[in-house]
Structure 1
Amino acid sequence: MPEPTVIREGVTAAAVVLATTPAARLACADGTLLDRINDQLVLMPVRDVHVVPQGGGLGADLRGVAKIARICTGAVVLLPADLIAHTEALAVLMEHPARGTGALVSSDTTVGPLRPPVRIQHARVVAAGSSFHIVPEANATFRGVLQVGEADLGTLADIADELAELADTGRLGPVTPIEAIDLLLVGLVRSGVPVRAAQIGRLHADRVTAQSAADLAVTRLADVDEAKVRLDTAVKSDDGFFATFFVSSWSPHLVRLAAHLGLTPNAVTGISVGVAVLSAVWFSAGTRDAQIAGAALLLLSFVLDCVDGQLARFTRTFTPLGAWVDGMADRFKEYVVYIGLALGYASGLDAGDGGPDGIWRFAVAAMILQTLRHSLDFSYKGAVADAKLIGAAWARPARSLLESADGGRLAVPHQGVLGLAQRLERESLTRWAKKVIVLPIGERMVLIAVTAALFNAKTTFTALLVWGGFAFLYQLVGRIARSTG
């Protein structure tokens, strides 16, 4: 019989701990490995914990998972009791606010009985293996923790029942209870369920079979500072050049301070907006000193704009609403600064056609150009997201669990413009050059601040139109090449 279920209030996930191997009873400082896992789950957003004990066999274990999946609401997390992992590693998967389907993986490709191979593409698990299922061109390993979103629980239950039948009849070969979660991951991937790849990075998550291995795994945990890893991973790995090298190299200190003060990401966004408005006010004065002060405030506003996203990732409080508010705030801040610059340039001068030297036409043209660029970017991302949904629903038929080999292959590089772009992406210098060319928000803020402080608003708008226009054409050609390649 399963051990008693532990109930916790105020959270939306359930955990199923498979204590189906003798290693679950191995000793550690906190009792047994099973006790250690239960203690870690107390710190996770888990409502109730179901423990599946040893003795039922693989088929019975899988049917138990199916039964739990059919009665649960919210996400269900499956993990083995013989797992020794950083609590932060579990949080990478379980504290993601989307509560969707995902698997804990490592870029370490050392495959073993407790480290089945997987293949990752675009942060998704596209192929998963077991002792029966082969993964050609594997580029990561699965670390035993699988979260299934509420929308996929029905699929999980059906897969678990099918696998139980195949295991009981011997059609999966000599698989054992130790592979239960590995097999479920295989089934989800082959059924077309999108599975997020939650990378553990420098953190550790290893399953063990013997006391010596358990002792070594526990010792290795102390080699990594979990708090520092969490703070480091709050910084985006694919940000722009200026944000990466001139802001994110020190902004984690501000993130730590903001978290200590109890500030929310939306509060930091509000402060950033306020600073940008002050920048626009200084720009509107039109004097050299005011232009310099406005430029400094604009750069501070951008730093805070980086901090709000990093704080959201650090505290794992990012939401779709917060992302929308952040994006809208970016547009508001940029355009209110355009207005301030135009007002400052026009102050004290006679208004001619379109303002002094046509400055308001320059300002409106810059706004229109940036609006077109953002529309191009977001509409393309939306189209890609829709295509992925269609592909998951139509273009990727379910594959039989009795196929021992995964015959899929990595995408073949495209030819022409897209192929050239992909080759350039592999080189560090050209990759950063491509990031600068598209004039992301960090580079735009620097361009505005420097030209406004050293020259005037007309120079600023001219630079924005020239560089922004080139960036628009570059992005347009790239989107067309990716869409037709």
Structure 2
Amino acid sequence: MAQSTGPQAPQTAAVVLATTPAARLPCADGTILDRLGGQLDTLPVREVHVVARTSVPVGPGPADGSRGLVEDLRCVAKIARESTGAVVIVPGDVVAHTEALASVIEHPARDTTALVSDAPGPVPGAAPPGGPLTPPVRIEHGQVVSAGSSFHHVPAPNGVFRGVLQVGEADLGGLAEVADELADLVRAGRLGSVTGAEVGDLILVGLVRRGVPVRASRLGVLHCERVSGAAAADAALRGLAEVDESAARLDAAIKPDDGFVATYLVSSWSRHLVKLAARLSLTPNQVTGISTGLAFLAAIWFSEDSARGRLYGAALLCLSFVFDCVDGQLARYTRSFSPLGAWLDATLDRAKEYMVYIGLAAGYTAGAVAIGPWWGTIWTLAVAAMILQALRHMIDFSYAGARADAARDAAAQTPLPPRPLADPGDAPYAGPPPGPAGDSGLLRLARGLDRRQATRMLKKAIVLPIGERMALIAVTAALFDAKVTFLALLCWGGLAAVYTLTGRIARSLS
């Protein structure tokens, strides 16, 4: 449940392509371009460059005059070379929720990201999916693996690019090279009849074909439409009013497919606490502090030798986990992330759990005379539970690090060759197949279980995530005693460790 200390300083430069007549269509905020400029003013954007078919300044920032698509692409390349941070490319004729733009520009990764919609469907008054203003894309595992334009073909598209493309600082050199190469191809007439409205579409094609990882930011219920006339603009503006932007932002902050306890017993109502925390101007780290304090109080109550103490401790532990969920949800809701916050959250999760172990063992020891001979080994059980939990986390984190290192080494040794940008009908790279031939039967079974919600939740529960662990501790401590709690943690945790280790080995050998 990563979180942070606060928003970062603005580092993004925006390139607004006001090259179509629709950018100057009137609306309540002046023109469509004026409306977009007002939205960018509310986002962490350092500067705005307007590329227009005139040298006269228009819209929210200085204008670069251009006479056509070639000059548009050259302007983008120039800005990419001069920028010191991420660059976001936005059509001047886009009508979007501010939250849709923010999902790309305010994302803490500030990586290369395309705003896309899943399962394209017709929108009244808007350009049809797959048309000149809504180019098709293929999305796999959260990334755009194939992108199209009026010239470039996409095999088996499953989404639509909505025109907003951010290029991370690490990829700015590639952006400049792609824009210049596209300009040369347009000048040579090798991209067919592409139009000036397709600058962002062509750049996305170029980045994807060059192997640049492009994260897909999904619109969900939000709207982002490029318009071509007054009727389309009016329809798109009416569509914005049909969506509660604040509620959509809150929904996006809640993980939809977490563990069973977190998803159904906490996240189903914790949004109310997220809104309250935001209204009180609490930071995610402050909420983490509240969660830690509640866990400390739970440990104190567990250390009391009484049924009442165990019951109160269980209640406080459950409340601590609720706030542990809320801190991550608040971080996503306010988009206030940092490496320090993520590290602090993960570290305190372990500290809270071990504090509770100590409290349970101390309480059991205090009543050892009445309970029986188990008191002599209760600390052994507590230490064994701590060691097992530490080993399970080591397996998870070391495997993730090893996979990342292996992927980097493989990419360095056998990089994906750049694909031509001017081959009509060429099928762009579509990513790895969903089930490699070398997969074991165990992995194929695991993928089959992922297709159903019930079995997917069962798989998540088997590995004993933090929500299930806190629930297990609370229930067994309240109804029984620390001996039962530690034995349950060791049995279930041992099964989870074997399951996880078996899966890691199978994936490593496949």
TM-score bracket, normalised by the shorter chain, equals over 0.9
Q: Among residues 72, 75, 80, which one is paired with 1:64 in the alignment?
A: 75
Residue of structure 1 equivalent to 2:467: 442
Contact residue 345 and residue 457 of structure 1 kept, 8 A: yes
TM superposition shift of 1:299 = 0.4
Against the structure 1 CA distance between its residues 228 and 411, is the aligned structure 2 distance closer, same or farther, given a 3 Å change threshold? same
**Partner of residue 494 from structure 2, selected from 448, 469, 472:** 469
- Partners of 2:146 and 2:428 within 8 A in 1: no
The aligned counterpart of 1:336 is 355
Offset of 1:407 from its aligned partner?
4.4
Pairing partner for 2:319 from 300, 307, 311: 300
Separation of aligned partners in 2, 1:327 and 1:164 = 47
Query: Is 1:52 paired with 2:51?
Result: yes
Tell me which residue corresponds to 2:56: none
The correspondence for 1:408, drawn from 429, 432, 436, is: 429
Greater RCO, CA 8 A, separation 6+? 2
Task: Give RMSD over aligned pairs.
Answer: 1.8
Q: 1:387 to 1:366 in 2, by over 3 A?
A: same
CA–CA distance in 2 between the matches of 1:198 and 1:391? 26
CA apart distance, 1:412: 3.5
Match of 1:321 among 335, 340, 346: 340
Which shows bigger deviation, 163-172 or 121-130?
121-130
TM-score normalised according to structure 2 size: 0.90
Superposed displacement of residue 80, structure 1 = 0.3
Match of 1:4 in 2: none
Distance 1:423 1:395 in 2: 31
Match of 1:97 among 88, 108, 124: 108
- 2:226: which partner in 1? 207
Unmatched 5+ residue regions in structure 1? 1-8
Q: Which amino acid aligns with 1:43?
A: T
User: Which sits farther off after the overlay, 394-403 or 228-237?
Assistant: 394-403
* Matches of 1:100 and 1:214, distance apart in 2: 30
Question: 5+ unaligned residues in a row in structure 2: which ranges?
Answer: 1-7, 54-65, 121-128
> Is this contact kept in 2: 1:192–1:392, CA < 8 A?
no
Contact kept, 8 Å, 1:97 with 1:316, in 2: the verdict is yes
Q: 1:310 to 1:52 in 2, by over 3 A?
A: same
How far 1:484 moved relative to its partner? 2.3
Alignment of 1:129-278 (within 5 A): 129-278=148-297
Counterpart of 1:364 (choices 379, 383, 396) is 383
In the TM superposition, what is the alpha-carbon distance from 1:483 to its structure 2 partner?
A: 2.2
Distance 2:104 2:275 in 1: 22
Equivalent residue for 2:3? none
Q: Secondary structure of the residue that 1:285 maps to in structure 2?
A: coil
Query: Does the CA contact (< 8 Å) of 1:194 and 1:392 recur in 2?
Result: no
Write out per-residue CA displacement over residues 58-91 of structure 1, whole angstroms, 9 at most, x where no aligned residue: 1110001011111111111101001011000000
Question: Residues of 2 paired with 1:407 and 1:198: CA distance?
Answer: 20
Change in CA separation of 1:415 and 1:119 when aligned onto 2, cut-off 3 Å = farther
- CA–CA separation in structure 1 for the residues paired with 2:297 and 2:481: 18
- Greater displacement, 116-125 / 325-334: 116-125
- Which string of whole-angstrom CA distances, capped at 9 and with x for unpartnered residues, describes residues 413-463 of structure 1? 245111111111101211111111111100100000000000010100000
Give the TM-score, by structure 1 length: 0.95
SS at match of 2:368: coil
Partner of 1:3: none
1:102-143 deviation line (CA, Å, top 9, x unaligned): 111111333222111111122111111111211112221110
Deviation of the 1:402 alpha carbon = 2.0
